[in-house]
A and B are shown apart, each in its own frame.
Chain A
């Protein structure tokens, strides 16, 4: 079986990302930068009603707007609208201004309906308006029972009950969703801002009734996805249809407003948890009743009791549909809410037991890697020196600490990943993989692995990705990309070395022999193929994080001072990009903890914060000192890190806040209003849910 080299020159070292110069000088062309000859702008008309029947749409006046080349409706009529922001029509024209004018000229005849519901609690009521005629709002989710739960609670020395909730979070990649699509007689070419070029090709071909071979998807650069850009999307299909009608390429990028409404989110969660432990601190009984909303479609299940094994466990979950945009995969789907609920309950129970929350975890977390991570992290963080009883920090600005654990069990690799390399007689080499770099450093990973295996420098490796004309690669989801492509590149290199030996007779073509070996190819370049190989990657990934916060008890402001993130990701390919992923996970988790929430208006059904001035992301001044500890386990092979790094952050911060003020804020985001309410300084906070 294949194995990674023990001594390395580039693997596990720091190589700056190879496409940094292009990104830093503005030369990188993102989907939104593509300007194909004769391109047109595309824009979408969205519903201003959360529920309505669209009787007809008249596009005549829109078509007469100067510069407008195409106008289409999304569906046939009558169209049933189920959420604010649902797509109704689209236009394409020679300028943004022409499109804006045309959207205003579209005449929509509709019957708005008042029987909509955007709040989970209202949607669960017996006579609630139904989001779908064909099914109830509430559907049973993942539920299970083991042991004798009711009796077990009576055997516990300490039992707590708590309510923990998490808000709907929006992905908000900096580049909005969208693409430039050109439909000609030869077929469709789409320059898409996507995490999955193959998925977009297949989805678009399906929607447009074309052969897969007639659709080519190109994604040289894209501006972030976080799970939301894994399919062609309605906007991609609309761009293609507009292109067909206009007979010109159409660039249809969503606005930030559009991006807030209709292209995915992380479902909310409302978790009622009862948990008990025996006198020695052993977890003994657990019960959770939970629900959440994914919007009009999707599921809201979470794993419970998350990373712990409790002999007596009862879990009841349900999914509640509301009139809001549908959810989709979001960086470690289901895990951050699960971690927040369970790890909050763990700390509340530790307090009741009079135990140090870290000791309590070490007693109950059976995972060996996390055990080691907790011990290492506690030392780096100074847990023992910093830990105080909840609320015992002196003065109006109270400090507190907390910790939480994570697992990312999905992960793994896409075993069908393939790639080619063309080796030219002059020694230049180009790798071609049908994978996309979503900002994680995929191109750099290819260069690092290739340089290591061939004895070259990363800058000698030309990397071509993001094109469905290259051999198929994985969708970048589930933290699988690095573990999919690294073994593939390993295999391509192994095959290349073997062929160079066969063709040129040089036993080892690596390093100093490289150019001589390539010269022996004569005039014909060598093209070698490779595919994912067993034994070079694995899963799952484990991690723990520690957070230190300062809470101003007069204003309610929470400042995160420090986070120590301890993660295992097997064999590290590039240390620099690995660290960046962990920074990113922590910062996104911090936003989830303190700032981010989609706010819906119960009465009008609209999203109240569909842009960045009201949907708050962490800024540079909010970001704490982040200390990263990587557990080096090369024998496990390559393991993705993008998702596990964001899982425990919100829980660790929430626990640190509770430790600081001596009261639990069980609802994310932990806003100043909720802090003051928990301290009894203002009336209880009633947030708009969802």
Chain B
């Protein structure tokens, strides 16, 4: 059988390197490492948040929210269950469905994959923050007109993804929309209408192909 011990293949394996240092050097190195570790631990202890609740400030739809959260609380959990913003939905809690999509400084993210403490100091936009009074945003209005929603549970996520796309690219084509919504899942099957709505919000009318034929 072929011997694959690293020593056989050259002089620079980890083991031979340590051997070459000699006992004295190794001891000194270890001591040094330990002291560095202790320093780090001390420095980190001052910076470590939790495990109990810590004060967190989130800027949501232009409002500053002061919350007390365990550091392990996700942004989605914080928004929904500590701040009452239930527009972003939980569909999987593991970055596979996109129902929790919110914007962070205009960029769409899965809020289930971001800790709330990491989302401080940036502008968070939720689906609740898009309409002006009772006037829907152009994307929301296009979704309404095209019936780009059924049960509506995935809808806030899709609305946020399309909103972010149009901010970045006001004149997307169908492929751009599909790319922007690739991280959002819908089970009712609203996809064709979402595509239609996104293009409509960008000023491109596409006709849904439906014909009603009288039975004769």
Contact = CB atoms under 8 A, between A and B. Distances in A.
Interface of A: 12, 16-17, 19-21, 23-30, 32-33, 35, 95-97, 172-176, 221-224, 226, 253, 255-256, 369, 372, 376, 380, 438-441, 568, 572, 575-577, 579-581, 583-588, 611-613, 617-621, 623, 625-633
Given A17-B147, A630-B213, A631-B215, A30 B185 contact: no
A619 B86 contact: no
Contact of A572 (B86, B195, B212): B212
A633 B214 CA distance: 7
Contacts of A376: 213
A623 B144 contact: no
A580 B147 contact: yes
Contacts of B182: 619-621
Nearest to A253: B90
Q: Is the interface of B mostly helix, strand, loop or mixed?
A: loop
B94 A633 contact: no
A583 B193 contact: yes
**Most B Cβ at <10 Å: residue of A35, A96, A173:** A96
Contact of B155 (A23, A29, A96, A631): A23
Contacts of B127: 24-26
B155 A24 contact: yes
A21 B195 contact: no
Contact of A583 (B126, B143, B192): B192
B131 A25 contact: yes
Interface string B172-216: 000001110110111111111111000000000000111111110
10 contacts: A16-B145, A20-B147, A23-B152, A24-B144, A96-B73, A226-B187, A576-B147, A586-B189, A619-B184, A621-B178
B153 A174 contact: yes
Interface of B: 70, 72-73, 77, 80-81, 84-94, 96-97, 99, 126-128, 130-131, 134, 136, 140, 143-145, 147, 149-156, 159, 177-179, 181-182, 184-195, 208-215
Contact of A172 (B80, B187, B210): B187
A255 B151 CA distance: 19
Contacts of B145: 16
Contacts of B128: 25-27
B104 to A, nearest CB: 17
B187 A580 contact: no
Given A20-B152, A21-B140, A27-B128, 8 more contacts: A24-B140, A24-B144, A223-B152, A256-B91, A583-B192, A588-B189, A623-B195, A627-B209
A35 B79 CA distance: 13
A223 B193 contact: no
A224 B151 contact: yes
A521 to B, nearest CB: 30
Nearest to A581: B150
A28 B187 contact: no
Contacts of B209: 625-628
A583 B187 CA distance: 11
